[in-house]
Structure 1
Amino acid sequence: MTFPYELFIGLRYTRAKRRNHFISFISMTSMLGIALGVAALIVVLSVMNGFQSELRTRILGVASHIQITGNGNALPDWKSVVNFVKGSPQVQAAAPYIMAQGMLSLDQAVQGAMIRGILPAEEDKVADLGSHMKVGKLTDLKSGEFGIVLGAELAQSLGAGLGDKVVVMAPEGQFTPTGIIPRLKQFRVVGIFQVGMYEYDASLALIHMDDAAKLYRMGDKVSGVRLKLEDLYQAPRIGHELSTQLAAYGSYFVSDWTEQHANFFRAVQMEKRVMFVILTLIVAVAAFNIVSTLVMAVTDKRADIAILRTLGASPSSIMKIFIVQGSLIGVIGTLMGAVGGVTLALNIDVVVPFIEHVFGVQFLAKDVYYISDVPSQLQWADVITITSVSLVLSLLATLYPSWRAAKTNPAEALRYE
């Protein structure tokens, strides 16, 4: 099997010990710069993917994939809605709920909260709250016993613990001859949950749906129905389909988790794109160091280029020789960076604790970020994109020096040899 002589000479130039060691130093610097840039890109995007996944998991621990509500504050025919949506093969579970505002008080502490009335057995099928209980169980909420489950931050603000009596005040008052008196009901704390999202931990309280119906005088109505899907990423499409189908039965509003928490995921996605652009510039700087390497290599090899031209080598062949030389630097640097980045991304749960232990620091304080470990989720699509961009930049960096080498005049190059 024969190889093109351009490839043979290009590889020989790369391996050969040059008279000018400065060229070798710049080549090595370019190679290491590309490797570090590629590795940093892979690790940073993997961490961003991990944070996005962690954020989604925590949000969906409380929120549902799809939420169906009525035109007003109540959904009167919720049982027919549940029966209808359960006929869809993509829907795993459906659970009714009552959502209302309230004031919670314990001794001298008063705190506003969102009160959610649930059916514990059904709620556990559409959300993962049961797995986030710090104290007690979700099933301890029983109809008529007026138990309440508080978020961890909300319980701390009130100074409430398991078994304490908390007064819940509904904003809709009762009209009496002396004026409007708010409806009050005493609830016993039967559990505390912590999902790691301040929005929920500090403002959400759960009670049984029957107790919520009595407190807020909902009767047989509910605020809406929450759905869990087979594939959460299909929520926008399925939500649109359900909205179209339910339009024939009445006025319903269908929303999915991507709409309810759009700002969170847009922010993370924007940060991921910005980090990709910034770190790609690092790779670009390292890749374009290849330009200076090849320019000096062309100057160093002017006599060799002239001899090759006099032996019949075409300008395109000269160009290919230096493209091979420059591309090899980019390929080796990209492969080193890809291997190092993938290895680090897959073992970041070991590397970060080791660094924290050696230097006595903590990257993520649990009391601030609710996440004590740096999450990482490697996506091979990101690795392929990063390596492709790096290889393309490396190839582009070889074009100008190679073009200059092809334009070398043999007579001028050999005049003083």
Structure 2
Amino acid sequence: MFKPLSLFIALRYVRSRQSNGFASFISASSTIGIALGVMVLIVVLSAMNGFEKALADKLLSVIPHGQLIGVNTPIPQWQKKASQVLKSPHIVAVAPIINESGMMQYKGEVKGVELKGVDLKLETQVSSIKDYITQGQWDDLSLKNSIIIGAGVAKKLQLSLGDSVQLLLPQGVHLSNSNSVHQRFPIPLTKQVNVVGIFKFGGIVDDINVYMSFQSVSDFMGYNLNESQGLSVKVDNVFKAPLIIREAAYKLDHYVYVSDWTNEQGHLFNDIQLVRLVMYIVLIIVIAVASFNIVSTLIMAVNDKKSDIAILKTMGASSLTIMYSFVIQGFINGVLGVTLGAISGIYLANNLTHIIREIEVLFKTKFLSADIYFIDFLPSDLHYSDVYITVLTALSLSLIATIYPAWRATKIEPAQVLGQI
């Protein structure tokens, strides 16, 4: 006989339950329900982790982690200021930047753009935009009056390599005469530039961003030598960027506006967190409902085994032994369901991207479009901490579900039951 007695009794009852068709069906449904809930929760959490990782690895690879923009006046001697910022902990790279909103005009078509004046060498240390150039070369920005545009801009204006396009920018405030009537309605600066490159990243980045060399934009906008509108900063932990950038700004002896990626793209991260929380709550409820099917199974088992329980009590079995027998019997369902769900969930999470691609090929459709989102695939990043939390939660719910039916079993009176036999 197995030891302890409660485990032996529980295993005997589990085996005998297989002969009862209806009880076996209820038991199997609870096990399958728990398995499905655990599997889906692991897959969903892995997908959310994948979106976070894609956000950090791709979108934030071309968007500055943070920027320090001069207040009212440009930053003088930006090389010196960049060295000061680099001394801050967790700052990986710094590059000068000039951001200007303007328009591009070509053959009667006009498109609003965000012009970025960048240092060709230093910009590659804070951004990987160079890797997304599909036509032309990044180094061609060193040519006179050259510009690199996004695929969305090129599509809107029907531009291709070598085309000459007119760039219109507002006059900088620091260039305007405060006593001039033109301060209210300044004449826009115009410049004819040549398209030397086109990049394709996806989403809104392609639709608005254009790049010129830092020196060209500086001369065009009338900045003095070694002046920069601001500094772009790359950090080693994007999710701590607000704190890191703010601490770095304190070390500058120049008044600057402090901004980070969360100001423009933080809604994406917040949306991911919100969806994660909602899905976690919903799927935990699903697991709870499946777990409480164990209650039905055990109540049926208790009613079916009343005479056995009465005999065990007359033979000296304690209430705890009876209770543990039914707790273990119900908990076995939970363990089986959680095990099946965890194994299948881990497998699906590790192969989710490939599986979704196969489904897209099979049905000739696309779930995510790079023209709208910054990725065109469903990412997945399995964290085993999520698996542990899911498994422990499901096991806890399964265990809780066994308590009431097991307690009911201890309240059976042997004399009353045996007297009816």
Equivalent position of 1:353 in the other structure:
357
Q: Quick check: 1:31–1:333 contact (8 Å CA) kept in 2?
A: yes
Query: Which structure 2 residues correspond to residues 386-401 of structure 1 after superposition, within 5 A?
Result: 386-401=390-405
Provide the rounded CA distance (Å) in 2 between the counterparts of 1:367 and 1:4: 63
Determine if contact 1:294/1:322 at 8 Å carries over to the other structure. Answer: yes
Q: Are 1:58 and 1:195, in contact at CA under 8 Å, matched by a contact in 2?
A: no
Q: CA RMSD in A?
A: 2.3
Structure 1 residues 253 and 180: CA distance shift in structure 2, 3 A: closer
Write out per-residue CA displacement over residues 26-82 of structure 1, whole angstroms, 9 at most, x where no aligned residue. Answer: 111110111111111111111122122223333213212232222236323422211
Instruction: Supply the distance in 1 between the matched residues of 2:170 and 2:361 (Cα, whole angstroms).
Output: 51
Cα shift at 1:259: 3.9
Which amino acid in 1 is paired with 2:375?
A: I
- The correspondence for 1:315, drawn from 300, 315, 319, is 319
Cross-structure match for 1:92: 92
TM-score by length of 2: 0.92
1:96 counterpart SS class: strand
Give the match for residue 202 of structure 1. Answer: 207
Higher deviation after alignment, 353-362 or 300-309: 353-362
Q: 1:416 to 1:34 in 2, by over 3 A?
A: same
Further displaced range: 45-54 or 205-214: 45-54
Checking the alignment, whether the CA contact within 8 Å between 2:56 and 2:238 is kept in structure 1 is no
CA separation of 1:401 and 1:184: change in aligned 2, threshold 3 A: same
Give me the whole-angstrom Cα distance separating, in 2, the residues matched to 1:88 and 1:62.
22
Q: Following TM superposition, by how much is the alpha carbon of 1:408 offset from its aligned partner in structure 2, in angstroms?
A: 1.3
Deviation at 1:89, TM superposition (A): 5.0
**Matching of residue 339 in structure 1 with residue 343 in structure 2:** yes
How many residue pairs end up in the alignment?
A: 413
Distance 1:49 1:157, change over 3 A: same
Q: Which runs of 4+ in 1 moved over 6 A?
A: 173-179
Query: Deviation of residue 369 (structure 1)?
Result: 4.2
Contact 1:242-1:254 at 8 Å conserved across structures:
no
Among all aligned residue pairs of Structure 1 and Structure 2, give the percentage whose two residues are the same amino acid.
39
Shift of 1:170: 1.4
Cα distance change on mapping 1:73 and 1:308 into 2, 3 Å:
farther
* Contact kept in structure 2, 1:165 and 1:186, CA below 8 Å: yes
| Cα separation, partners in 2 of 1:392 and 1:229, compared to 1, 3 Å | same
Q: Are 1:150 and 2:154 counterparts? A: no
Distance 2:269 2:142 in 1: 36
Aligned to 2:114: 114
CA distance in 1, matches of 2:169, 2:364: 49
1:215 aligns with 2:220: yes
Q: How far apart are the structure 2 equivalents of 1:204 and 1:91?
A: 25
Measure, in 1, the Cα distance between the counterparts of 2:343 and 2:300: 30
Alignment of 1:241 onto 2:247: yes
- 1:30 maps to amino acid: S
Please, what TM-score do these two structures have when normalized by structure 1?
0.92
Q: Is the 8 A contact 2:170 2:186 kept in 1?
A: no
In 2: Cα distance, 1:184 partner to 1:114 partner: 15
Asked whether the equivalents of residues 78 and 96 of structure 1 are also in contact (C-alpha less than 8 Å), the reply is yes
* Letter matched to residue 151 of structure 1: G
**2: CA distance between counterparts of 1:72 and 1:308?**
88
Per the alignment, do residues 389 and 229 of structure 1 end up closer, same or farther by CA in structure 2, a change over 3 Å counting? same
Match of 2:163 in 1: 164
Q: Distance in 2 between matches of 1:125 and 1:360?
A: 39
Counterpart of 1:231 in structure 2 is 237
Unaligned runs of 5+ in 2: none
- Equivalent in 155, 179, 184 of residue 190 of structure 2: 184
Letter matched to residue 387 of structure 2: V
Cα separation, 1, equivalents of 2:251 and 2:291: 54
Distance in 2 of aligned mates of 1:285 and 1:251: 58
- Secondary structure of the equivalent of 1:219? coil
CA shift, 1:232, in A, is: 3.0
Q: Greater shift after overlay, 291-300 or 308-317?
A: 308-317
1:76 aligns with 2:82: no
CA, structure 1 residues 166+303, in 2 after alignment: closer, same or farther (shift >3 Å)?
A: same
Structure 2 residue aligned with 1:299 = 303
For residue 88 of structure 1, report the CA deviation from its aligned partner: 3.4
Which residue in the other structure is 1:193 paired with? 199
Matches within 5 A, 1:25-44: 25-44=25-44
Once residues 280 and 326 of structure 1 are traced to their aligned partners in structure 2, the CA distance between those partners, rounded to angstroms, is 19
Q: Cα distance 1:341–1:234, how it changes in 2: closer, same or farther (>3 A)? A: same
- Partners of 2:305 and 2:81 lie apart in 1 by 79
For each residue in 1:378-399, what CA deviation from the matched residue of structure 2 results, as whole angstroms up to 9, or x when unmatched? 1111111111111111111111
The alpha-carbon deviation at position 368 of structure 1 amounts to 4.7
Cα 1:360/1:163, change in 2 over 3 Å: closer
Q: Which residue of 2 aligns with 1:139?
A: 139
Q: Distance in 2 between matches of 1:29 and 1:82?
A: 63
Larger mean CA deviation between 250-259 and 383-392 belongs to: 250-259
Is the 8 Å Cα contact of residues 48 and 380 (structure 2) preserved in structure 1?
yes
Q: Are the equivalent residues in 1 in contact too, given 2:149–2:198 (CA < 8 A)?
A: yes
Tell me if the contact between 2:2 and 2:8 (Cα under 8 Å) persists in the aligned partners.
no
Partner SS state of residue 206, structure 1: strand
Could you say what secondary structure the match of 1:290 adopts? helix
